Amino acid sequence: MTKTIISLTRWLANSMNSIALWLESKDNSASSQSKFVDLAPTDEADKDGVYSEAILFATNNEKVSNIALTGPYGSGKSSIIQSFLKKYRRPALHISLAAFVPEIDVDDEADERKVSRQEIERSILQQMLYGADANKLPLSRFKRIQSPGVWSILKSFYMMLGIVSLWFVFHQREKIISGTFFEPLTLSNWLNLGIFGFAVIFFWVILHHLYVASFGLSLKSISLKSVEIKPAHEDQTSILNRHLDEIVYFFQSTDYDLVIIEDLDRFNNADIFVTLREINSLVNENAGVKRTIRFLYALRDDMFVNTDRTKFFEFIIPVIPIINTSNSIDMVLAEGNRLKLDGRLNRQFLREVSRYLNDLRLIQNIFNEYAIYVANLEKDEENLLDANKLLAILIYKNVYPRDFEQLHRGEGMLANILHHKNELIEQGEATYKAEISELEAQLEAAERQTPSDLKELRQIYAMALIEKLPEDIAGVSLNHGYGWIPLKNLVSHDEFEQLIEASQLNYYYSGRRGHSSRVNVSQWQKEIDSQKSYQQRKEELESKTTDNKNKILSQIRDLRVKLPTLRTTKLNELLRVNTDRIRDLFENFGENGDLARFLILEGYLDDSYYQYTSLFHSGRLSPNDNKFLIQIRAFVTPEPSFPLDNPKEVIAAMRDEDFRQSYVLNVKLVDNLLSDRTLYFEQTKKLFKFLSSEFESCENFFDAYYSSGQNVAGLLSGLANSWDDFVLTAIANNISHVIQIVSNLPENLLKKLAMEFAEFPTFVAENLPEILLNVPGLASERLVCLGFEVKDLAAIKGHHEVVNVMFERGLFELTLANMEYIYQAFEGESDFEPLHKKNFTTIRSMHSPILLQRVERDFDRYLRDILLVIQENSEEDASTILAVICHDELEQDDLRTFLERQTIQLPSLEDVPERLYEMLFKLCMIEPTWLNCLAFMESEGFEVDILVGYLDRDDVRKIILKESIPSDSDSQKLRVFLFNAGSLSDISYKEYVSALPEFFKEFPTGFELSKLRILIDEGKITFTKESLEELSDSRDLQVRFVVANINTYLANPDNFELDDDFLEVLLQSEIDNVAKLGVIKLMDLDALVNLPERAALVGPIINSTDAKISNLDGNIVQSLVIHSQPIGTQISLFNKYHDLMDDDDEVRHVLANLPEPFSEIKTGYNTPRLQNTSENQELVKWLNSRNIISSWSESYFKDEIKVNLYRR
């Protein structure tokens, strides 16, 4: 009774609870339906009724017993069946193998072999028999537990009464046998008769039940003590065939006419279908089954090969999948929209991952779990977790549930991949280090190659020079007489480049040092390369080397940046780089490996999975944090980039002494220490002390922190403030430290360090290209505050902002390379010839105040390092030259070298410092004008020799003499200077004297004869007795002086005391005959009788004039005729003055002294023959008239005069 009450109470409580749950579900129906969806097949999958119509046709067709509903997994076969059953009014039996078969993976062949055919058939039989009411199968051998029903109380009471009745009848058996028990047979004996009747009926019922139960017994074996007899191959017999009678009995005893079998195809065993078809055929043919039994199979299309399925099934219904890889994105988006995740999930990720999901129930379950996970992981409503990663974790959990379970224990396929991260990092580090070593070796080789290439270039030009020289040459020189360079030392000599730029070279022969010559090599470079000069080729070679060096340095920098970041590189990036090495890791995923590969390689599954698979408790240590502490407690220093998730908790767990050791060198740890220096004052103090004492051994930490640390400026500032030698140590150690100092320290601290350590800005200047390569975005102001000058602007031309700022601030060295870059980059010029030929002029023409100010700031360096370096810089204009020489700070030697190369002269000495007058005139750098010369003469530093040397130049003389020498009184000094410039060359002196506008009374003293001769010839000395006497030491000069002034002398001969010997010399000069006649008149002609040479000199002069000399007589005439030359002059004089010889004997005396044939004219028998000339005709005429000859006649046949003589 108590049990009955308890049972009724429990039933009532369950009913009330169900009602309460139903009412609550009604309240929350809207929200629940939007948050979760069930995975059960829906009964609304066939809204158009197409599939139901087909199935109904098959179930109403007497010829159809086996129906196939075919489609791939997830195509909606179960939902179509549910939709059909909603309309199907007859009883149907539903068998689903998934509910009874242990979890298997059909893709796993090992698991597949574990599921035997007997297990499959047993599952089918169990679902068939146990699915029906046990009361309907009383004869079944498969007994099931039956729970007492409502009538169980009456049945138990009936059994009790029956047993009591039997017991009572059994004890009354003697009376019953004797018959007394039935007496009397009246109503009064109803009790005995009733009990006996009830006992008989009860006993009959018992016998009936025993009889019926005997039909369910089967003989499996007979055991006779130790001998057991049982059927052979019992285990291998088909269970369905063995229990065929049960199956037939089942359909005989139930009303089912449709059996629906699902999921049987997942076992890939077609024999089961054959057995089921046979059973279907037997059942339908059994006489006890009065209806048609049909089997409806839900299976895959590929369950039967070729056309076998059309022979097996009488009707096949294809199912068009409601979801596949092409439209699964719509299902995924619908689920995301249901959970209002559109704003959190990446649409591209959903689109890509959906290609791997083609099961609607799987997608729905993933999002159901997503809703649960999000609700638990984001309780504070802060969306800190990556929704895409969480979804990826849940996809992985549903597709690879076994591996997901193993992941919690650090096992499985995904865990194995995660464990490879450290191995991949180590391999990557080894690869990067090897590449860096190789690049450094290439850089070192390139550094060694550059001098070799330059030497080869020099050798080319040296050989070309040697070819232009004669054989047996031992050496060459730029300057004649000194600085000889042996040919064997030509290539390596310091002056090689100056030799190349020279237009002429001196050379000497082997063994004859004193004998040298010059050779023109102005076209030397063009003959080697008509397009490029040596300097251009050298610059290209150096530029090529620089570009290659920058390229290698850039690669090394990139690798060094990547090296420390490997520890923080995401897993997917490491795997992508090492796809060949990890290919085998993904093969363990089987056919679904593509999904795992996608999720992992895209970074949705990584080592942060634990944040999405377990609840987070504030302040806890992550696995990485715990691993870090375990390592340092084992005295192992983790890598600087070892990931820490809760550095504050790690710091709290560390000991004080840990901060004095290498354990503190962790990027995340140092970031946290530096983020709150006040809180961690002691720890940071110990950190800086350790770094300063073990600086060189901390390189790996610095590399890692520079690349991924969050407070590099704080770290470096702390070191700089706490360690005095930090900057110098950093410079000596590694350029990466300087790079970080420049790019991270505050500008005021940079200025301070630059002032305290001169090595710091110097180092930055020398390594600026490499620094900018490593920090391309470096702020220009950081460089400006260091105050250094850029050595090579072209080397940093890729950093435009830096170049512009450093140029605008004038922070660049004065080098030709920098000038060329500025000229090209800021002026847009590509032709460097103006810079090479007139550098400063070109700079001034650029109108760049910045550049001019920079040049003016270090003009002495500019002159020395640029103007003097450019050998061809010789065309600076006059204003530029003046600007150069006006710099007082310049060295005289440098200035002289500069001026020596210039071809343009200064027009005047105006604005030129007096101290440079001497140099300008000496170098001929001043235009030849009398005003310039006068200005120089009036200066304090005037030197005669320099001006004389200047005026003695041919080019100067040619130009200056185009201008008249000033004749004003202010220029008197200049004229006197020219007059007294005896050190001039004769040619120069002659021209300058000739240009003098005035005369001088006296000859200069100490002059050479040639200079005196010039003064005489140019008539610049007044002819006086005194000036003539000044030449007393030289008769020739006196004669020359008189000759030059002959007219003056002849006008007043008495003023000069000149004897006949002097006058005779005058006659020998080149004065005209008139003057000579004047001189002759002044001579004593009587002396000619005894002076035949003088007579010979005077005779031709007298003969040359028609005038008669009055003071001649016969003796003088005889001497003149006899001693004059030639014969024509003698005959002419004879004809003119024969009348002065009164005596014929004088005439004959003269004739006798004449040459033949004139000497034959005398008495005798000869007949002299004279040349027929007018003089000879005149001669014979007067000879005939004076009877000196008999007669004369002209020859008819010859051009002769025949003279007839007196015989006696």
- The Cα 839–Cα 845 span in angstroms is 10
Percent of the chain residues topping a pLDDT of 90 = 2
1048: left (phi over 0), alpha (psi -120 to 50) or beta: alpha
Q: How many CB atoms lie within 10 A of CB 464?
A: 16
What is the model's pLDDT at position 106?
A: 43
Q: 1000 by DSSP, 3-state: which?
A: strand
- Does position 221 have pLDDT exceeding 60, yes or no? no
pLDDT of amino acid 381: 53
Average pLDDT over residues 736-757: 88
Check if the beta carbon of residue 997 is closer than 8 Å to that of residue 1022: no
Residue 863 has pLDDT above 70, yes or no: yes
∠ Cα 480 485 486 (to 5°): 125
**In sequence order, what are the residues at sequence separation of 6 or more whose Cβ sits closer than 8 angstroms to the Cβ of residue 110?**
none
Report how far residue 1041's alpha carbon sits from residue 1023's, in angstroms, rounded to the nearest whole number: 8
What local confidence, expressed as pLDDT, does residue 989 receive? 86
The pLDDT value given to residue 21: 60
Question: 168-182, 560-574, 653-667, 1093-1107: which has the highest mean pLDDT?
Answer: 653-667
Q: Which of the four pLDDT bands, split at 50, 70 and 90, describes residue 23? A: low
pLDDT of residue 145: 65
Residue 235 has pLDDT above 50, yes or no: no
- Output the 3-class SS for 327-359: CHHHHHHHHHHHCCCCCCCCHHHHHHHHHHCCC
pLDDT of residue 928: 92
Average pLDDT over residues 1107-1124: 78
| pLDDT > 70? residue 448 | no
Higher pLDDT pick, 519 / 1188: 1188
Distance CA 392, CA 850 (A): 62
Distance CA 726, CA 729 (A): 5
Tens of pLDDT along 1093-1115?
Answer: 888 877 787 777 776 777 777 78
pLDDT digits (tens, 9 = 90+) for 600-655: 888 888 877 777 777 655 456 777 888 888 888 778 888 888 888 888 888 888 88
Query: How much is the pLDDT for 1107?
Result: 67
Long-range contact pairs involving 1090-1094 (C-beta distance under 8 Å, separation at least 24): 1092/1119, 1092/1122, 1092/1123, 1093/1123, 1094/1060, 1094/1064
For the whole prediction, is pTM greater than 0.95? Answer: no
- Round to whole Å and give the CA distance between 759 and 771: 16
Q: Report the pLDDT value the prediction gives residue 233, as an integer from 0 to 100.
A: 44
Which whole-number Å values give the CA distances from 361 to 41, 79, 401, 916, in the listed order? 9, 11, 15, 103
Residue bearing tokens 């634990």: 610
The helix or strand, by DSSP H or E, that contains position 945, with its residue range, turns out to be helix 944-951
b (16+ CB within 10 A) / e for 1086-1098: eebeebeebbbbb
pLDDT at residue 52 tops 60: yes
| Structure confidence at residue 390 as a pLDDT band (50, 70, 90) | confident
pLDDT in the model for residue 232: 45
Higher pLDDT, 114 or 583: 583
pLDDT the model gives residue 670: 92
Q: Which tens digits make up the pLDDT trace of 25-45? A: 555 544 445 678 777 777 777
What gap in Å lies between CA 131 and CA 133, rounded to an integer?
7
Report which listed range, 186-190, 199-203, 328-332, 463-467, is most confident: 199-203
Distance CA 714, CA 731 (A): 19
For residue 221, the tally of other CB atoms under 10 A from its CB is 9
pLDDT above 70: percentage of residues in the chain: 86
CA-nearest of 707, 665, 705, 714 to 687 is: 665
Per-residue pLDDT band for 135 (boundaries 50, 70, 90) equals: low
Tell me whether strands 222-224 and 227-229 are parallel, antiparallel or unpaired.
antiparallel
Q: Is the pLDDT of residue 223 over 50?
A: no
Q: Which of 400, 435, 840, 326 is nearest to 591 (CA)?
A: 400
Mean pLDDT of all residues in the chain? 79
Is the pLDDT confidence value at 457 over 60?
yes
Which single residue is written with the structure tokens 């503190």?
664
Between 905 and 614, where is the model more confident? 905
DSSP 8-state symbol, 761 = H
